[in-house]
Amino acid sequence: MAEIIVAGNPVNEFEKTVARTLAHLSDRYVLLTNVILPAFYHKQSNLELDIILLGEHAVYAIETKYWQGSVRGHVNQKTWVVLRDNLPPHQIENPLQRCEMKAKTLNTLLSRWNSGLMGKLRTRALIVVPPHTPLEVDNPTDIEIVTLERLLPAIEADAQRMNREATPLQVRQMAEILVGKHMGQDDMLPFESYRVERVLKATPRAVSYEATNVLTERRVFIKKAIADVNLPPDKLAMWRHRTLREVRATVRLSHPNLVGVLDVLEDEGNLYVLNEWVDGHSLASLDLPLPVTRACAIVRDAASGIAAAHAASPPVVHRNLHPGCLLVTSTGTRVTNFSVARIEGDPTIVFQESLGGHDPAYVAPELFADSSKADPRSDVYSLGAILYQALSGVKPRSFLAADAPEPLPDHVPPALAAIVQRAMHPVIDQRIASAGEFAAALDSFMA
């Protein structure tokens, strides 16, 4: 029997019937139900696949359609027709294009894990309909529509004519990736001089490691940016440019309150960014609020590092400061994550991409109009918002919120509250003029 992993509950009895049918395959298969996939195509929201079947010869993206009646349609028609006895014709959406997109998304996700394997292993789109459903569908594509009684024979026929490309271990690793347990990444890097100590975080697009240089015994933080082999050359070049943005932004910066980039390595199109290892915790992971002196010390250090970035040649504006970017150590605060920084004279990414996945609570008002014109005072706003949260324990309200931010708690000195208010002033010309000035203003509250 095939192993069934319930990632999500089937929404109807027909889905359950299809899953039970597929379970009659051998134990060399793994079956996943109702898996949510991130959308990489057409900027759509996340996609849900009814069933994913993983085999050694192919991966199947399976959609179930409980159509009652005979089905007529064409691959290029937006809607098809279901004809039922003594009932008017019923229109249904053409499922081919959407099923194909889900199969491509599935392939993209798995290719970022193992592009070599997925270059050989077929990813098939399959639509399953009730038993003995009459089908009059003109469909010259590779997307197969099968009735339930033909489902197992179709898969077994594929297994006979296709080569086994995946090992049983790789089938299991794919299942673990898709159900979110872990990415199945091994603990090896393609560079003999670095040894992985542990995997810190893994996503379809990137993997972060704590590693050690075996020659010098120096610990480093390595971020592997995974190239998407399915992207056309122009988009792959754009991805590379954006991946190297953080490197270009920080490789020239040297300051005790910034995390430095040591090197960039490349292997099979994937980029490996090597950073200093920092023993510490992000401000976002600490219990807030903090005492006034500690909160001011943390943000003062961050402001000093950001001031150095602003003073660099060419200047660098971070644009995405939030508590997760501040690493608090025993010797001070280090600022990291310059991935959407604006470098003077360098083409910048658009605002929507700059904010994608980030919390607008820390974003300066002017960036909502045009982030490509980010000013150093935009970072001052973000630092003020971070200090507000460190002092109050409450995330600041976004500039887009209808209500003004709540006043800081009574234990915060009025003079400090006034500094935070100035740093977060919505009018840029009335804001504290620089990160250096902001850092100096916090010195008097650290005694």
Q: Dump pLDDT digits (tens) for 5-16.
A: 877 767 788 888
Which tens digits make up the pLDDT trace of 207-261?
A: 899 999 999 999 999 998 887 655 678 888 888 887 887 787 788 898 999 998 9
Which tens digits make up the pLDDT trace of 167-214?
A: 998 998 899 888 864 333 445 788 889 999 988 887 657 889 999 999
* pLDDT value of position 13: 83
Task: Indicate the pLDDT class of residue 353, thresholds 50, 70 and 90.
Answer: very low
Query: What is the β-pairing status of strands 79-83 and 70-74?
Result: antiparallel
Q: How far apart are CA 382 and CA 392, in angstroms?
A: 15
Q: Which of 355, 429, 439 is nearest to 398 (CA)?
A: 355
Read out DSSP for 248-259? HHHTT---TTBP
For helices 435-442 and 292-310, give the axis angle rounded to 10 degrees: 160
Please, what is the average pLDDT of the chain? 87
Rg (CA), the chain: 27
Read off φ and ψ for residue 255, nearest 5 degrees.
-155, 140
* pLDDT value of position 187: 59
Of residues 36 and 9, the one with the higher pLDDT is: 36
Predicted structure pTM score: 0.60
Domains by residue range for the chain, with CATH = 3-178 (3.40.1350), 194-276 (3.30.200.20), 281-445 (1.10.510.10)
* pLDDT value of position 203: 66
Instruction: Kindly tell me if the per-residue pLDDT of 298 is higher than 60.
Output: yes
